[in-house]
């Protein structure tokens, strides 16, 4: 059964480790992440962006697929199904479809409007026992056509949003979705420290987990990050493994064109990436 992300993140914050949010793109992705979480005995959050939701034939299809897998694959570790960077309307659609967690990304609204909409959604999620993530300070890079500049959040605004009763808070600390550019300045630990001092026990979320050096990940966890989002890195490992299979001409030999064979190396590559991240984040055996 899907669970809210609340308990797993509060435990992670108290225990100084982070739970990975791995974005899913199709059936192979979902199965790879769930099986790895079970093998690692780790809690996990499946992230779905609005674009990925559309791609996978809608939120209800995803809820059906994930619930089916939890049962058929005998997944017993805590799993949350979470809308990533949701719009106001998207949050309501996911709540209705059976997601166990949503992110309302109101970072592009003026702070007063972000507060008002977040407050309303917090009340709805609380009533239904779902977790809700809010964002202050936009995350850099491009996701589903939305481009952010990688701002650093204002700690006072973070406190304002945290006080609305959200479950977890994403604060921009110079992080970027996708690959980091050569001249990236790194995470702003000064901002993270100030945000944590203002928000106390609130589990903080680090977006753009791909390509952040290990030492920075560890430091971020020590400063209150309890959820780390990874998307691009699984896509890169999937693509590299698939490319290798095709370049070796394996799709042309025997029944190598069968999708169950063609997609197998990519599937294994996602599993390896997820395992590596769970070890780095410290969530192994925390289920």
Q: Which residues bind ligand 13P (CB under 6 A)?
A: 23, 47, 84-85, 177-178, 207-210, 229-233
Nearest to 209 by CA among 159, 262, 141: 141
Triad 224, 227, 228: Cα angle to 5°: 110
- Per DSSP bridges, beta strands 204-206 and 44-49 are unpaired
Please state, in angstroms and rounded to a whole number, the distance separating the CA atoms of residues 5 and 18.
Answer: 12
Closer by beta carbon to ligand 13P, 232 or else 237: 232
Alpha carbon distance 236, 210 (integer Å): 10
Q: Which of 84, 163, 193, 201 is catalytic?
A: 84
* CB 22 to ligand 13P: min, Å: 9
Query: Known catalytic residue: 84?
Result: yes
Comparing CB distances to ligand 13P, the nearer of 178 and 256 is 178
Provide, rounded to whole angstroms, the least separation between the CB of residue 165 and ligand 13P. Answer: 22
Q: Which residue, 205 or 245, is less far from ligand 13P as judged by CB?
A: 205
Q: Which residues is 103 bridged to in the sheet?
A: 133
Minimum CB–partner distance for residue 260 and ligand 13P (Å): 27
What is the nearest approach in angstroms of ligand 13P to the Cβ of residue 127?
Answer: 25
Helix (H) or strand (E) holding 47: strand 44-49
Comparing CB distances to ligand 13P, the nearer of 137 and 209 is: 209
- Candidates 223, 227, 210, 237; CA nearest to 281 is 227
State how far the Cα of 23 lies from the Cα of 230, in Å rounded to an integer: 7
Give the chain's length.
287
Query: Least distance from C-beta 113 to ligand 13P, angstroms?
Result: 21
DSSP letter string over 10-23? HHHHHHT--EEEEE
Decide whether 47 or 78 has the Cβ nearer to ligand 13P. 47
Find out whether 17 and 255 touch, Cβ atoms under 8 Å: no
Q: Strand 141-143 relative to strand 204-206: parallel, antiparallel, unpaired?
A: unpaired
DSSP-derived secondary structure letter, 139: P
Active site residues: 84
């Amino acid at each position: 059964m899907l669970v809210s992300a609340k308990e797993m993140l509060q435990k992670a914050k108290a225990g100084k480790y982070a739970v990975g949010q791995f974005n899913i793109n199709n059936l192979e992705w979902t199965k790879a992440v769930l099986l790895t979480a079970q093998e690692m005995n780790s809690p996990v959050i499946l992230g779905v962006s609005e674009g990925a939701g559309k791609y996978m034939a809608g939120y209800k299809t995803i809820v059906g697929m994930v619930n089916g897998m939890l049962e058929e694959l005998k997944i017993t570790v805590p799993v949350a199904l979470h809308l990533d960077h949701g719009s106001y309307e998207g949050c309501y659609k996911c709540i209705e479809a059976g997601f166990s967690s949503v992110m309302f990304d109101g970072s592009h609204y003026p702070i007063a409007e972000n507060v008002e909409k977040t407050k309303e959604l917090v009340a709805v999620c609380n009533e239904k026992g779902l977790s809700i993530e809010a964002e202050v300070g936009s995350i850099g890079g491009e996701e589903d056509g939305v481009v952010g500049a990688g701002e650093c959040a204002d700690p006072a605004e973070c406190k304002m949003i945290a006080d609305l009763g959200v479950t977890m808070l994403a604060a921009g600390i110079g992080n970027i979705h996708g690959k980091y550019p050569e001249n990236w300045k790194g995470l702003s630990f000064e901002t993270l420290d100030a945000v944590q001092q203002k928000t106390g026990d609130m589990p903080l979320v680090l977006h753009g987990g791909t390509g952040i050096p290990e030492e920075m990940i560890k430091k971020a966890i020590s400063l209150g990050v309890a959820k780390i989002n990874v998307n691009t890195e699984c896509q890169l490992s999937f693509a590299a493994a698939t490319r290798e299979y095709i370049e070796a001409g394996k799709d042309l030999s025997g029944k190598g064109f069968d999708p169950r064979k063609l997609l197998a190396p990519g599937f294994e590559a996602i599993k390896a990436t997820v395992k590596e991240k769970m070890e780095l984040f410290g969530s192994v055996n925390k289920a």
